[in-house]
DNA sequence: CCACTGTATGGCACTCAGTGCCACAATAGT
DNA sequence: ACTATTGTGGCACTGAGTGCCATACAGTGG
């Protein structure tokens, strides 16, 4: 194994092709609809073979989702790094408020989100990703020293926080992208603040 | 169109075959795993053709999910039937606490739930169903006369309630089916009670 | 009991996502 | 330049899901 580092020609072209596939795929999906676009179409548009498409993305759905795994790990780290005596809900609020724009960006803003929201297959995939994220966050919360959360409470709070983000995203869509997401997040988290 | 009513021979055999397919499918899924069981296998076990399977269930996943649509409509009706001056959260708590056992039963109790929880494709489908349910409940909440909810708040509360049920189901799984689900629901809803 | 009508069934062929395999081209390290 | 890796395209295959058609069969009218 010769380390690839960040800047081999190989790695660079790989990233470029990946980005182009994602770009073209989004365009085609918006143009003809997700179901009416085949992997063949996307691959052809980018000038690669169908077979190679699946070497860049494990499934057709994944072409729309940036690397959530990476994101999830960073968020979990942020949670572990918070002051140990902080209230779990406040911790979730702070960290997720901070990360929301990046979670969002990973979903291609309005165009992508709208596509995801109106395509059952994509919504399903989104939920799957969200599940992974929830598990990691919940685990990170349990590892925090002070508030001593049991698995159920940690899971419950994380799920509620996820529900809040989800509701915010939908409201933002309803407002055609004009709503202030940060304010909505604050509102949602305040409303749901757990009883002591 | 000669009305089929509830008891034609046709309707009865249809229901019987449907039930048998569901039954056999669950058995096969548990035995060999979901992915390693083909629709062909299920159909053959029930003595029908692959083609006919898809006349009973729209997809392979659906063989595990009872008619959620029906359930959703009934739940929505229950919500509309609650006293008009009741707090929205209290309303969700009461109705969902009441329906949870039936939602649960539709998922085949421990065996089915565990299968769903450990199979990504099935979790995805579950989420899809839950989405439908959420939309209907949220709409029903908005139609209630008194608390005058805006779409965002209704959606947020419904999503939070869904998150609570989800967390309860996972805790119940963690406890190998020994936990008191009703008590967990009460606990979860109390903890998340919205600030006035 | 029989003919008629609508529906359920099975078989077939097709599309499309996803995978394993192999031959071949391009690249990185020496 | 030589060689070990790694990416690529082509091909064949599985498995889900659908459209179509010929046939079998329940439900109704005579």
Average pLDDT over residues B120-126: 91
User: Rounded mean pLDDT of chain A?
Assistant: 90
User: Rounded mean pLDDT of chain B?
Assistant: 90
- Cα nearest neighbour of B165 on chain A: A156
A193 CA to D9 C1' distance (Å):
56
Average pLDDT over residues A71-86: 91
CA angle B76, A167, A64 (to 5 degrees): 115
Residue A3 has pLDDT above 90, yes or no: no
Q: Which has the minimum average pLDDT: A1-5, A17-21, B61-65, B117-121?
A: A1-5
B153 touches chain A (CB under 8 A): yes
Report the pLDDT value the prediction gives residue B70, as an integer from 0 to 100. Answer: 83
8 Å CB contact of A164 and B167:
no
Report the pLDDT value the prediction gives residue A7, as an integer from 0 to 100. Answer: 64
More confident: A94 or A14: A94
**Residue closest to A173 by CA, chosen among A83, A87, A110:** A110
Q: How far apart are CA B140 and CA B122, in angstroms?
A: 27
- Nucleotides of chain D touched by protein CB (<7 A): 5-12, 14-20, 26-28
- Nucleotides of chain C touched by protein CB (<7 A): 6-13, 15-21, 27-29
Average pLDDT over residues B141-160: 89
Q: Which has the minimum average pLDDT: A13-22, A105-114, A136-145, B185-194?
A: A105-114
Residue B64 has pLDDT above 60, yes or no: yes
User: Which residue is closest to D11 in terms of CA–C1' distance?
Assistant: A51
When CB atoms are compared, the residue of B159, B160, B190 closest to A195 is: B190
When CB atoms are compared, the residue of B123, B128, B166 closest to A120 is: B128
Q: Which has the minimum average pLDDT: A24-38, A102-116, A161-175?
A: A102-116
Residue B29 has pLDDT above 70, yes or no: yes
Average pLDDT over residues A160-176: 95
A192 touches chain B (CB under 8 A): yes
Average pLDDT over residues B37-46: 96
Q: How far apart are CA B120 and CA B154, in angstroms?
A: 29
B111 to chain A nearest CA, in Å? Answer: 20
**Residue closest to A128 by CA, chosen among A53, A58, A81:** A58
Report the pLDDT value the prediction gives residue B7, as an integer from 0 to 100. Answer: 61
Any atom of strand C under 7 A from CB of B18?
no
DSSP code at position A83: -
Neighbouring C-beta atoms of residue A60, cutoff 10 Å: 20
pTM of the predicted model over 0.85: yes
8 Å CB contact of A167 and B156:
yes
Residue B4 has pLDDT above 50, yes or no: no
Q: How far apart are CA A49 and CA A148, in angstroms?
A: 52
Residue B93 has pLDDT above 70, yes or no: yes
**Residue closest to A188 by CA, chosen among B185, B87, B191, B195:** B195
More confident: B109 or A55: A55
More confident: B3 or B194: B194
8 Å CB contact of A163 and B156:
yes
Percent of chain B at pLDDT above 90? 70
Neighbouring C-beta atoms of residue B185, cutoff 10 Å: 20
Sequential DSSP letters for B4-63: --S--HHHHHHHHHHHHHHHHHHHHHHHH-STT--HHHHHHHHT--HHHHHHH-SSTGGG
Report the pLDDT value the prediction gives residue B137, as an integer from 0 to 100. Answer: 95
8 Å CB contact of B160 and A160:
yes
- Residue A123 CA, chain-centre distance (Å), reads 12
B105 CA to C5 C1' distance (Å):
40
8 Å CB contact of A164 and B156:
yes
Report the pLDDT value the prediction gives residue A176, as an integer from 0 to 100. Answer: 93
Residue A43: Cβ-neighbour burial (10 angstroms; 0-12, 13-18, 19+): buried
């Amino acid at each position: 194994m010769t380390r690839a580092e960040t800047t081999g020609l190989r790695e660079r072209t790989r990233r470029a092709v990946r980005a182009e596939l994602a770009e073209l795929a989004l365009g085609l999906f918006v143009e003809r609809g997700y179901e009416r676009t085949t992997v063949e179409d996307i691959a052809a548009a980018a000038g690669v073979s169908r077979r190679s498409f699946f070497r860049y993305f494990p499934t057709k759905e994944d072409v729309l989702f940036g690397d959530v795994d990476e994101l999830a790990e960073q968020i979990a780290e942020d949670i572990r790094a918070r002051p140990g005596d902080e209230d779990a809900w406040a911790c979730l609020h702070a960290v997720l408020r901070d990360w929301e724009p990046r979670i969002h960006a990973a979903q291609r803003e309005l165009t992508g989100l709208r596509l995801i929201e109106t395509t059952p297959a994509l919504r399903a995939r989104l939920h799957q990703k969200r599940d992974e994220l929830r598990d990691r966050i919940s685990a990170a919360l349990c590892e925090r020293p002070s508030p001593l959360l049991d698995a159920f409470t940690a899971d419950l709070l994380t799920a509620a926080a996820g529900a809040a983000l989800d509701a915010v995203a939908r409201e933002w869509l309803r407002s055609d992208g004009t709503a202030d997401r940060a304010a909505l997040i604050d509102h949602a988290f305040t409303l749901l603040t757990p009883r002591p």
